[in-house]
Amino acid sequence: QTLAAASTLSSLMSIVRAINLVLPEIEVHLAGASIDGQLVLNLRSTLVDPEVKVELVGRGYLRWLEEENPEWDYEKSTPCTNQAVYVSKTQNFHIKDGWLDSGVHTFDFHFTFPPNIPSTFTSKIGCISYFVQGTCCSSQVVLAKEERCLLLQGTAGDRGRHVKDTAPLVVEVRKDVVYFCCFRRGSVTLRISLEKNIFCPSDTIVFMTDIANRTCKYVRKVIFALHCIVLYRGFSSRGEPRSLEDRSEVTRLESRPDTAPFEAMRVTSALVLPKPMPVTSTLMENKIMAFRYELVGTSDLPCTTSTIVVRVPIIIAA
């Protein structure tokens, strides 16, 4: 009986020559938009009692290790995890007469993304992913399956709460310097100015940086970077709530102004935002992750180990 069952299963598996998902050539899909595609099934022979379906799935997952008690004499870490389902839709196809003849069969499918779902996102701690999966079964045996990942741009977030942030924004930081080798003092001031601080994915952030160098050395380099700060919410193995904040770099630009001693200059720079990217949000909106952004300007002070850092809050809305 075991050999007969294995032979039957092998015979079933060999019926499907190929299974393919045909999707529109859209690089990034938008939350609330629709997706139309086809599932193409190529059979070597007749398939009786087939089950053909396409699924749209979007989910988030996070995991990190947390030291339980740093005062203990031994190391013990506990995993903190959490997950969320953002979309789960299935389209089952009706098979007329309960069988499919050999050859190519095409099935059209249509899905609409929910409007309030987050963007595709991946980090060392968590991810948010979306995919379409086509499956062909018979007698509850999976004969063929294909999965295609989708990039999705979320549009969640309350734009109304950001209205006050449309005004120009200026952030200034000054750092004093003492040069013991020549017994001199000085300072460096960085001021970053933006006409607005609300941007959309794929926008270009144009900003001006004023550098006031009141030292006897050159200010050679300023590095600008957009940082994404993510607050993760998970649970320990005992069900206790845990949170972790992590910072990553989205995009960066290196500027070499070479500001001379006791001089001031202005530099205009631009950073291009990627798409997709998570919008500024709260834990309530994304369930397991919250996102915020900072435009950070950093410069090493000449002939010292000190660094001057300017942080400008940026809002990503879509």
Q: What is the CATH number of the domain that holds 108?
A: 2.60.40.640
Pair (236, 100) in one structural domain = no
Last residue of a domain, one of 153, 187, 206: 153
| Judgement on whether residues 110 and 179 belong to the same structural domain of the protein | no
CA atoms within 13 A of residue 220's CA, in its CB half-sphere: 6
34 occurs within a structural domain: yes
Verify that 146 and 204 share a domain, yes or no. no
pLDDT at site 77: 82
Task: Give the pLDDT of residue 3.
Answer: 41
- Is the residue at 175 inside a domain? yes
Of 153, 185, 202, which residue sits at a domain end? 153
**Ranges of residues in the chain whose predicted pLDDT is under 70:** 1-13, 69-75, 157-166, 180-183
Give the total number of structural domains in the chain. Answer: 2
Q: Judge whether 160 lies within some domain.
A: no
In a domain, 230, yes or no: yes
Q: Residue 238: what pLDDT?
A: 87
Are 91 and 126 part of one and the same domain? Answer: yes
Distance, in Å, from the CA atom of 294 to the CA atom of 297, rounded to the nearest integer, reads 10
Same domain, 96 and 175: no
* Domain annotation covers residue 158: no
Place of tokens 């007749």: 46
What domain range is 22 assigned to?
1-153
Of 153, 179, 197, which residue constitutes the final position of a domain? Answer: 153
DSSP 273: P
Task: Tell me, yes or no, whether 107 lies in a domain.
Answer: yes
Query: What is the structure's pLDDT at 183?
Result: 62
| Dihedral sign from CA coordinates of 25, 31, 33, 34 | positive
**Predicted pLDDT at 12:** 60
Same-domain pairing of 88 and 222: no
Considering the domain architecture, whether residues 2 and 64 belong to the same structural domain is answered as yes
Q: What is the Cα–Cα distance from 304 to 287, expressed in whole angstroms? A: 44
CB 230 within 8 A of CB 293: no
164 domain residue, yes or no: no
Evaluate if pTM is beyond 0.95: no
Is residue 163 domain-resident? Answer: no
